[in-house]
Structure 1
Amino acid sequence: MTVDATVETARTRTREVTARFDDEYWRTADQERAYPQEFVDAMGASGLLAAMIPTDHGGLGWGIGAASAVMEEINASGGHSAACHAQMYTMGAVLRHGTEEQKHQYLPAIASGDLRLQAFSITEASGSDTSRIETVAERDGDDYVITGHKTWTSRIEESDLALILARTSVRGERPTEGMTLFLVDLREVRAKSPEQLEVIPVRTMFNYATNQVRYHGLRVPSSAVLGTVGKGFRHVIDGWNAERILLAAEAVGDSRWFVDRAVSYSQEREIFGRPLAVNQGVQFPIADAYIRMRAADGVRWEACALFDTDQPCGAEANMAKWLAAEASWQAANTCLDTYGGFGFVDTYDVERKFRETRVYGVAPVSSNMIRSFIATKVLGLPKSY
């Protein structure tokens, strides 16, 4: 199957799932702050969340281009990929650094939808400066004991497994060394020692199942180490390019949704005896949003092509994320302006998507951090931090 055919298959199969979850479904989930479990279950059963898991482990064996098409179509349908996107980009760490035993133990069950790997527990009060994390994992016989506090760990209540980054040696001359990545089976923790895991829900401006987490002497076996002890930071950043590309695709999907809604509403809405769309003051911002979306999408596909052929793509992945975040935010504002006062009414769904798409300029990497990366790593300018 060619790459293009795989991408089209991904789009078709995703649309078949998203067609069962309309605006009202997502609106209700947002209003009730409810995790869209039915949607995630349907995506898992379809096999689409296993897009990047190799076929010999039960997955679809697709490249990131097809995987990104899945994320794009979810957002373009009016849904929100954040409910399940982590399972896509956490696969890289497991596939590249997991032992054969870990892969055989977990990947087929993840691919079938029987297990969920949705929780990525890294960020602490130090924010983007991951080198300053204070969560520690101390060796105790055949186990490690994890103690610390994470400020952002999304979907941990909805996940069976979690990736946890902790410091296993003191911060030295190379501050990113000495951290270890653990693949933790949360089912065992909940069954045997629930007091070791404290989850504190965090309410955000949109429906996002995120939490603070406190690890109170969480005991995990040494077999939970993913990759090499002390090299966990390197294992984490291995997945960053995939994460950037996938989230760029989500933002492109949001842009599509905003542009489509603005076009439709401007043609249907009559004001002063004629369609709103007749006015160039309405047309031009929508056209601008569409042009910016297409430009971001072009860099996204350039990044996909490089990633899928194992070529360096850090610059392209980051630029795609930056461009797509900018495009989706412009499209969101344009759509809201087009709807006017009705854009603030929840039954039109614009205000919900408006809140959701704002995150792409901030997380999981901010647009300013991307600017800094391009300035120093691509253009050779001096480091600013």
Structure 2
Amino acid sequence: MDFEEHEDHRAIRQAVREVCRQFDDDYWMRLDAEHQFPWEFYRELAKGGWIGIAIPEEYGGGGQGIAEASIVLEEVAASGACMNGASAIHLSIFGMHPVVLHGSAELKRRVLPPVASGDLHVAFGVTEPDAGLDTTSISTRAVRDTDASGNGGYRVHGRKVWTSKALESDKVLLLTRTTPKDQCAKPTEGMTLFVANLKDPAVRITPIAKLGRNAVASCEVVYDGLWVDEEDRVGEEGRGFRYLLDGLNAERVLIAAEALGIGRAALRRAVNYAKERVVFGRPIGQNQGISFPLAESHARLHAAELAVREAAWRVDARMPAGEHANTAKFLAADAAFKAADAAVQTHGGFGYASEYHVERYFREARLQRIAPVPQEMVLNYLAEHVLGLPRSY
């Protein structure tokens, strides 16, 4: 067992930190308040090739693994960008994974190079208001049809929610039902993935008002007869759910890395404040009521980091990683929230003030315990698939 960080990984951290130093906490606070997408930040990362780090080299990407992608997202979040910065690039970094694995050669040739360069913006359309985490119950339908020229394709009708970055994106990786659930042998069958157009008159996008991460909008998207060419289908019809499962462990690792970064940012600000803030003639960090929660946060973040590193390593080595990826997500989300909560408490009343930024960290750390899967569903997985307990849902 070797816990020394690879030289390449250290180089990635340093390079991403250099980019992030150009965008301070005030930048992120302003964009969050104004609901403005961080275009300058996105373009700087794209210029450095970081957007395409996990896309194969043959399609213009960096050809790196989940370990490297997780480092990029961790450092972005740790810079103070938190989820606003990470969400701006997350889907471009890994959202196209099903296309990489299952898309036709022609689809990969058309889509992956502009995604890797940062020129093509993509969103992810899975969640629906009446289905939630019960993905097999989605009702968005794609029905085979022909266009005016006689070309084969599909007409899509339905509604998705929590489609992040829909306002800025050109394309969406869209999960639909091509066969009704009651006509399938298994509920996971009959779902199909497409790389569909978002900038189309048949698509209506409405931002959802929410607690935080407001620089990157989360949207309701209504599809009213959207035309999708057959060539834009990912893999075989009816196997879309299985294609999504291929990327779940990697997604858990990336989300865990982002949570880890938020926790690091919160702890850094809290420690600095505890050293500088003097009350009753001494720095407040001298008081165990302040120092112990921060020390505990450090310990929790360190433990979560080890879980994230192991899970990323297992995913890249193509080893079983369900237990490890879910554990990493659970521990990192929990550690980040506790660190952000301790940071707010350390600042006292000023923790509630926007100018100290920790209230923004707190809001974004809270999200990590909900999205993309809540802590309870992670525990469901571990209870059933690791401990062998009866399925609870």
TM-score (norm 2): 0.94
The residue identity in structure 2 corresponding to 1:61 is G
Is 1:355 matched with 2:357?
A: no
Check conservation: 1:73, 1:253, Cα contact below 8 A.
yes
Q: In structure 2, which of residues 25, 31, 34 is the aligned counterpart of residue 32 of structure 1?
A: 34
The residue identity in structure 2 corresponding to 1:339 is H
The offset of 1:3, in angstroms, is: 7.7
In terms of mean alpha carbon deviation, does 151-160 or 260-269 score higher? 151-160
Is 1:275 matched with 2:279?
A: no
Check conservation: 2:384, 2:391, Cα contact below 8 A.
yes
Runs of 4+ off more than 3 Å = none
In structure 1, what is the equivalent of residue 149 of structure 2? none
| 2:221 partner SS | strand
| 1:218 partner SS | strand
Check conservation: 1:6, 1:62, Cα contact below 8 A.
no
Q: In structure 1, which of residues 91, 97, 115 is the aligned counterpart of residue 102 of structure 2?
A: 97
In structure 2, what is the equivalent of residue 263 of structure 1? 271
Is 1:63 matched with 2:69?
A: no
Check conservation: 1:83, 1:209, Cα contact below 8 A.
no
Cα deviation code 1:216-268 (max 9, x no counterpart): 00011001100110000011111111110001001111111111111110000
In structure 2, what is the equivalent of residue 203 of structure 1? 209
Q: 1:1-385 alignment to 2 at 5 Å?
A: 4-80=6-82, 81-117=86-122, 119-125=123-129, 126-141=131-146, 142-171=152-181, 172-186=184-198, 190=199, 194-206=200-212, 207=214, 208-385=216-393
Structure 1 CA distance for aligned equivalents of residues 76 and 103 of structure 2 = 29
Structure 1 CA distance for aligned equivalents of residues 160 and 8 of structure 2 = 38
The offset of 1:151, in angstroms, is: 1.9
Structure 2 CA distance for aligned equivalents of residues 65 and 195 of structure 1 = 39
The offset of 1:90, in angstroms, is: 1.2
Structure 2 CA distance for aligned equivalents of residues 92 and 312 of structure 1 = 18
Check conservation: 1:71, 1:246, Cα contact below 8 A.
yes
TM-score (norm 1): 0.96
Structure 1 CA distance for aligned equivalents of residues 261 and 119 of structure 2 = 28
| 2:188 partner SS | coil
Check conservation: 2:92, 2:116, Cα contact below 8 A.
no
| 2:224 partner SS | strand
Identity of aligned residues (%): 44
Cα deviation code 1:102-122 (max 9, x no counterpart): 1111212222222122x0001
CA RMSD for the aligned pairs?
1.2
Structure 1 CA distance for aligned equivalents of residues 164 and 266 of structure 2 = 26
The residue identity in structure 1 corresponding to 2:59 is H
Unaligned runs of 5+ in 2: 147-151
The residue identity in structure 2 corresponding to 1:363 is A
Structure 1 CA distance for aligned equivalents of residues 205 and 96 of structure 2 = 24
Structure 2 CA distance for aligned equivalents of residues 346 and 41 of structure 1 = 26
Structure 1 CA distance for aligned equivalents of residues 99 and 15 of structure 2 = 25
Unaligned runs of 5+ in 1: none
Cα deviation code 1:40-95 (max 9, x no counterpart): 12212221011101112111111111110000001110003112211222131111
Q: How many residues align?
A: 377
| 2:164 partner SS | coil
